[in-house]
Structure 1
Amino acid sequence: MATELKNIGDLLAIIRRRKWHLAIPASSVFLAALLLAFNLPKKYRSTATILIEAQEVPSDYVKANIRSYAEQRIQTINQQIMKTPRLLELIRRFNLYADLKNKVAVEDIVERMRMDIKLTSISADGADSHSGRSGQGTIAFSISYQGRNPEVVQQVASELSLLYMAENVKGRDKQSTVTYKFLQEEMLSIRDHLAASDKRIAAFKQRNLYALPEVSQVNLQAYEEVDREIRLLTDQLRSSKEKEENLQSQLANLQPELNSNEKESLRQLKLRLNELKSRFSDQYPDVKKIKMEIAELEGQLKLTGLRASGNQVDNPVYVTLQAQLAGTRSDVQSLKRQVAEMAAKRESYQRRIESAPQVEQGYKAILVERNNLQQKYDEMAKKAMEASVAHGMETEQLGERFTLLDPAGLPQKPISPNLPAILLVGIILGIGSGVGLAAVKESGDDTVRLAEELSALTGFTVLATIPQIVTSVDSARERKKKILIFFVLALVATAAVVVVHLFVMDLSVFWAKQNRVLGR
């Protein structure tokens, strides 16, 4: 029957009784774990560390064309390196995954290599070189590769580090070149637009030569001068017309000849006739009478050979006034022409002044466009100059670059399988399986081993106990068990020493340390 655990003695009795149920499963599981650990393929890892160095020339003097963050640039390069053609080249070059070539597809082999490559960023506190803000930034990164052959692993890791550095140089040079060419093309395009804008300005000035803003004040002054000149000429014209009328009035009251009574009478009659006609009709008696007198007098003049239209003018006053009238009439015509010309000029200036605001608005618009283009051109020329210097800096590798800080080394110890972890799990599982088996056996055992158990089971008092009788067969069986236990323990001890030697510390190093300690 199952023994109740009342004290530590009962537990020790169960351990002694079930020692084989404990030892055999535990040893078996541990040995299986040990065999598994030593039979799993070993994998080695080699790691190269690459430092991200800042540009040698201070950014205050030369600004780089590439402004991306280090982490972003690393990921971009990683995507280029991880492309299938590049990984296939490495696989063929180093004969990687030879055991998988005829078993799985090429894509699966490439994916396996991607899993065996590990990229790790290394960050530190500091100020960002682009934004100037403080915080954590990537200052380096490590690239590692794992595989079964340590020499090949080292070669692949070394090659990967070289690929990353070469891709960084290639990418930065390409981006710098593209940036420089783009700025050059933009600058030339803006220069062409500037030339076209200058042509538009020249054509606009030609069309609006006399209405441009810079001649507005001149037009206004000219308009005022012409207007003032017109007023002066108008006053002169008015005076000349008054003079002409006055001279005509004087001439009307003078005789061209010195002795001409008949002609004077004829003139008086004509004046009288004009006066009467202005008040009466031709049928008025006095009008008819004067007409008859005029006709009679004219007839007399014809008979005497004195024709009114062909007489010789010999009155000096009349001649003088007649000459003055002719001059005055000439002045009047000249003044009229001058006034007309000045009026045309004033009208021209007025049109210019009236159109000046609209012309000025259009002129300012094309000037603003031209100034904006000039500003863009200056900025683009400055950027192109900076890009040219930065491109030269990238060509000479003076910009931000990758430097191999720690080359890939030959791995000395495998990273997998993890023997200590496997053995620890084996020990835990072995102990657990042994304890479980012993517990099952103990709970299902109905054997009565103690007098107290027999008394409790039957209700009778036990009078005496007989000890176990050990035969020669029992002794032989016991010896075999002890020999088996010895070999198992020796095997476990040997395995433990091997594990310590391979994965914890070399035994020669261990003994050397112990000797130094003992020597003290």
Structure 2
Amino acid sequence: RQQATIFTITAEAKNGETAAGIVNALVDQVLEQDAAFRTEVASDTLLFFEKEVRRLGDALDAANTRILDFQNKNVDALPETLDFRMGRQSLLQERMTQIRREIGQLNDQRRRLSELFQTTGRTEAQPRRALSPEEEELEQLNAQLREALSVYSDTHPRVAMLRSRIGTLEAVLEARNPDAEPETPGERVFNAQIVEIDSQLEALHDTISDLEPEIASLQATIERTPTNAITLSAMERDRANIQSQYDTAVSRLSAAATGERIEVLSKGQRLSVIERAVPPARPSEPKMILMGAGAVGLGLVLGIVAVVLREILNPKIRRPAEISKKLGITPLGTIPFVDTPGERWRQRGLRSAALVVVIAGIVGALIFIDRQVSPLDQIAQKVLRQGRL
């Protein structure tokens, strides 16, 4: 573990060149199979991550689409605009409170003015009034219109109402009946003030009518915001998880593509050849010296055993001591055995045949060693090198 694994490939053959060729062929096959296997694995890995990136990309697009649709459907109740809507609601509520306060003040003013006129028949502003009620009202409406245009747009209901009143008064002034009984100066002032107060009250009530739906709508969106925030947070959390998986898959896809390219170019082999097989200078087996020594020892043992067995198993009497031992007599003398000419020729022939057999055996052994073990010239060179050493 945590170390390189080293293994050796060996082969046996009739000669060193054949053995080296077999080993190198096996090494090439191992390297080819390793490269093919690793290339196949790298290609499968690359294909898997390509599919994973496409799947996660589609899932990420679907999550983004869901979030976008939800935001479009709830654009007025998103958490991002909650502070603005709450501030807008507070501002409108303060505005409505102020308008109601102004309405109350105008009602009080109208009531006091009516009581004063009914009691005294005049108004506080009577000495200062020199214009007719319609003219004064027209002047006041023009002033209110200028003030309203500085605050509201041309299409605002208050601006439209003031312009309508101004047009009505202008038409009244133009078509005034000269035979009508003129009003008293105090009554004209009183009527002008009442009309002005009523117009202001109507404008304020119109403003309240405009503010109430907007405040109610803001309140409804504010109440929907917490639920939308929870839903949106869950959707964004799912998208973040998919985004994280997508980023990891893209990173691994890049690594897999690099690995697959390396494998295709055969630069990523984990198996490396430390040393290729070369024809050996001498055979590893059989051990010639050991075989020779064993053969000599075995021949000596077999020779001794053969001599001993021949001596033990030969029943002939060859010495005087054997005569005394086997016959129980003491010989007076011994006569040696004399071979006949035919027996001598037979013995010479047997010796010659044995010599021929031995020579043939030696020659056969040399031929077997030369063809099956190692050439005799290499063995001779090796013996000479060892003798020189």
Normalization by structure 1: what TM-score?
A: 0.45
- Counterpart in the other structure of 1:343: 212
1:142 paired with 2:47, answer no
> 1:288-307 alignment to 2 at 5 Å?
none
State how 1:501-520 maps to structure 2 within 5 Å: 506=376, 508-509=380-381, 512-513=384-385, 516=388
What is the root-mean-square deviation of aligned Cα atoms in Å? Answer: 5.6
Q: Counterpart in 2 of 1:50?
A: none
SS in structure 1 of the partner of residue 3 of structure 2? strand
Q: 2:121·2:186 contact (CA, 8 Å) conserved in 1?
A: no
Counterparts of 2:17 and 2:296 in 1: how far apart (Å)? 31
Structure 2 distance, partners of 1:368, 1:314, is 77
Which has the larger share of helix? 2
Q: Counting strand residues as a fraction of each chain, which structure ranks higher?
A: 1
Specify the alignment match of 1:192 in structure 2: 58
Matched, 1:232 2:84: no
- Structure 2 residue runs of 5 or longer lacking an equivalent are 123-179
Q: Please tell me whether the aligned partners of residues 103 and 201 of structure 2 are also in contact (alpha carbons under 8 angstroms).
A: yes
Q: How does 1:456-467 map to 2 (within 5 A)?
A: none
- Residue in structure 2 matching 1:317, options 186, 189, 206: 186
- Code of the residue aligned with 2:73 in structure 1: it is R
- 1:119-518 mapped onto 2 (5 Å cutoff): 134-138=2-6, 142=9, 144=11, 158-250=24-116, 253=119, 314-400=183-269, 471-472=337-338, 483=351, 506=376, 508-509=380-381, 512-513=384-385, 516=388
Preserved CA contact (<8 Å) 1:143 1:160: no
More moved, 335-344 vs 206-215: 335-344
8 Å Cα contact 1:255-1:315 kept in structure 2: no
Please identify, of 386-395 and 350-359, the stretch whose mean Cα deviation from structure 2 is larger.
386-395
CA contact (8 A) 1:151 1:410 kept: yes
Measured at CA, do residues 226 and 143 of structure 1 come closer, stay the same or move farther in structure 2, by a change above 3 Å? Answer: farther
Aligned twin of 1:119: none
Q: Partners of 1:410 and 1:162 in 2: how far apart?
A: 17
Task: Give 1:198 shift.
Answer: 2.8
Q: Aligned letter for 2:189?
A: T
Change (3 A) 1:166 1:136: closer
- The 8 Å contact of residues 17 and 278 in structure 2, kept in 1 or not, is answered as no
Aligned to 2:162: none
Cα distance, 1:429–1:227 mapped onto 2, change above 3 Å:
farther
Unmatched segments (≥5 aa) in structure 1: 1-132, 257-310, 456-461
Q: How far off is 1:222 after superposition?
A: 1.3
Q: Which residue of 1 is the match for residue 172 of structure 2?
A: none
2:135 equivalent in structure 1: none
1:293-333: CA deviation from partner (whole Å, max 9, x where unpaired) = xxxxxxxxxxxxxxxxxx96845434433443343344334
Give a deviation string over 1:159-214, Cα, whole Å, max 9, x none: 44444444444444444444444444433443333333332232222122232232
Pick closer, same or farther for the CA change 1:190–1:426 going to 2, 3 Å: farther
Match of 1:142, as an amino acid? I
Q: Which moved more, 1:229-238 or 1:373-382?
A: 373-382
- Equivalent positions of 1:94-113 (< 5 A) are none
**Does the CA contact (< 8 Å) of 1:205 and 1:212 recur in 2?**
yes
C-alpha change, 1:147 and 1:330, in structure 2 (3 Å) is: same
What percent of counterpart residues are identical?
17
Look up the equivalent residue of 1:327 and give its one-letter code: E
Question: Paired residues, what number?
Answer: 319
